[in-house]
Structure 1
Amino acid sequence: MKARLVTEVAGIVEASVEQVWQVLAGAPAEQGTTVEPDRHTITHQGGWWYRGEWTLSPHPDGTRVVHRVYDVAESMRWCVRPANRFFIGFRERTREGFAARLGVIARRLGCACRVT
């Protein structure tokens, strides 16, 4: 079954990809986390439906950070939306959580960041 994109949020951290990667990849890994240094990508598989991906790429102002959430349910896919109350507020909560994490990274690096 193909993964379905649920939401995506992006931002800029005004530091190099390598600096941002050191902070992001240096955080304690949760169970179900895959770190791919060559792609500057961290993937977290949680529960039966959730996969979150964080990807870094160069940007003229520093580093573009993208967080994508996918529905990867292989069975009972119809249950995902009801189980998450049709994702009411999910995008906003994801954006808020992303902004907070971006802020932590920027503070650790002593630079600015913004959600785009």
Structure 2
Amino acid sequence: MSRQLITEVAGVLDAPVERVWPEIVRAIPRTELGEHVLAYQGGWWYRGEWSVTPVPEGTRLVHRVYNVGGNYWLVALANRLFIGFRERTRQSFAEGLAQIGNRLGCATRLA
């Protein structure tokens, strides 16, 4: 599968991976699940991947969006040249990060 990174956003939760990972698995629909990595394949071009890793402050959560539809310009045109896409992805990620932090009772911040 050919894939091209479109955008990436990350955040930190002040809780250990052992507490964060089950919340991520519950919160995000998925088509693939690995050890501390999950992916969602959506439509003809979109692949979202989420991963968690331990950091001194707790857990780092990373979300990456890939183009798996092939020709970048075809995908870009179908998505209005991705205008505003990164900002919407970052905003959505920040909201989800805060919700998970609220459920866990821990602080969160965008990286």
TM-score, length-scaled by structure 2: 0.93
By how many angstroms is 1:34 displaced? Answer: 1.4
Distance 1:77 1:114 in 2: 31
Distance 1:23 1:59 in 2: 17
Partner of 2:19: 19
TM-score, length-scaled by structure 1: 0.89
The answer on 1:71 being equivalent to 2:67 is yes
The answer on 1:51 being equivalent to 2:55 is no
Q: Is the 8 A contact 2:29 2:40 kept in 1?
A: no
Partner of 1:93: 88
By how many angstroms is 1:29 displaced? Answer: 3.1
Distance 2:40 2:65 in 1: 10
Matched residues, number: 111
Q: How does 1:23-34 map onto structure 2 within 5 Å?
A: 23-27=23-27, 29=29, 33-34=31-32
The answer on 1:60 being equivalent to 2:56 is yes
By how many angstroms is 1:84 displaced? Answer: 0.5
State the Cα RMSD in Å.
1.5
